[in-house]
Chain A
Amino acid sequence: EAGVAQSPRYKIIEKRQSVAFWCNPISGHATLYWYQQILGQGPKLLIQFQNNGVVDDSQLPKDRFSAERLKGVDSTLKIQPAKLEDSAVYLCASSLRLATDTQYFGPGTRLTVL
């Protein structure tokens, strides 16, 4: 079974630039999550999708972050414009159904904002 795929693995941008991350969850997984993990901390949920609908985006900085999950499969997370404090690893995870199911994580995208 293929795992959660993410790209790119690394990205370096200047502040005020835009960046987009892509995630392909495990086939058949209805729930998809985007997390932000700042160095030395645990992952913080940014947004959760159930199929192609948003379940929770309460911690997503909506003035600069946006995410979509077209057709309930792949997802993209965008930051526009980026700030220095956005430097982090962005993790995508998926689970079969509910938030309580085991979550399967991708390798993450390490973003550095200069």
Chain B
Amino acid sequence: SQQGEEDPQALSIQEGENATMNCSYKTSINNLQWYRQNSGRGLVHLILIRSNEREKHSGRLRVTLDTSKKSSSLLITASRAADTASYFCATDITGRTPLVFGKGTRLSVIA
């Protein structure tokens, strides 16, 4: 079953612009993680935010978490062509259960 749903499904922007992707989920979580997948490759972990955190930064990435709305957003600032990939949110419900991935947002950054 799909716990997280990313929005939009696809996003196309110009290099240098910011990209924002959203993730909504259904049940309370222990933490939420964002992963990136380049075409034909495995997933790469980007950032983990715990349920008691509201915002985290990593380089050009900024993740927010609103547990009252059961949603998270991933912001990529000053995007580059190399950021072209699919981005997935994954939720961990109890700390001992497997991650559940959403369907992903496909980001295209045009040079």
Rounded to whole Å, the gap between the CB of A20 and the closest CB of chain B is: 19
Is residue B31 contacting chain A, with contact meaning CB distance below 8 A? yes
Q: Which residues B38-53 have CB closer than 8 A to chain A? A: 40-45, 48
**B43 and A91 contacting across the interface, CB-CB below 8 Å:** yes
Range of interface residues on A (Cβ < 8 Å): 20 to 34
Query: Chain A residue with minimal CB distance to B101?
Result: A42
Q: Which residues A70-100 have CB closer than 8 A to chain B? A: 91, 93, 98-100
Is residue B2 contacting chain A, with contact meaning CB distance below 8 A? yes
Residues of chain A having any CB pair with chain B under 8 Å: 4, 33, 40-45, 48, 56, 91, 93, 98-100, 102-108, 110
Q: Which residues on A sit within 8 Å (CB–CB) of B98?
A: 33, 45, 48, 56, 99
**A4 and B42 contacting across the interface, CB-CB below 8 Å:** yes
Rounded to whole Å, the gap between the CB of A90 and the closest CB of chain B is: 11
Query: Chain A residue with minimal CB distance to B48?
Result: A102
Cα distance, A106 to B31, chains bound together (Å): 23
Number of A-B contacts (CB under 8 A): 58
Extra contacts, 15 of them, besides A41-B104, A105-B44 (Cβ < 8 A), are A40-B103, A41-B103, A42-B90, A42-B101, A42-B102, A42-B104, A43-B101, A56-B97, A56-B98, A99-B92, A99-B96, A102-B33, A103-B43, A103-B45, A105-B35
**A44 and B42 contacting across the interface, CB-CB below 8 Å:** no
User: How many B residues face the partner with a CB closer than 8 A?
Assistant: 26
**A105 and B30 contacting across the interface, CB-CB below 8 Å:** no
7 contacts between A and B (CB under 8 A): A42-B102, A42-B103, A45-B99, A99-B97, A100-B96, A103-B99, A105-B42
Q: Which residues on B sit within 8 Å (CB–CB) of A56?
A: 97-98
Q: Which residues on A sit within 8 Å (CB–CB) of B4?
A: 42
Q: Which residues on B sit within 8 Å (CB–CB) of A45?
A: 98-100
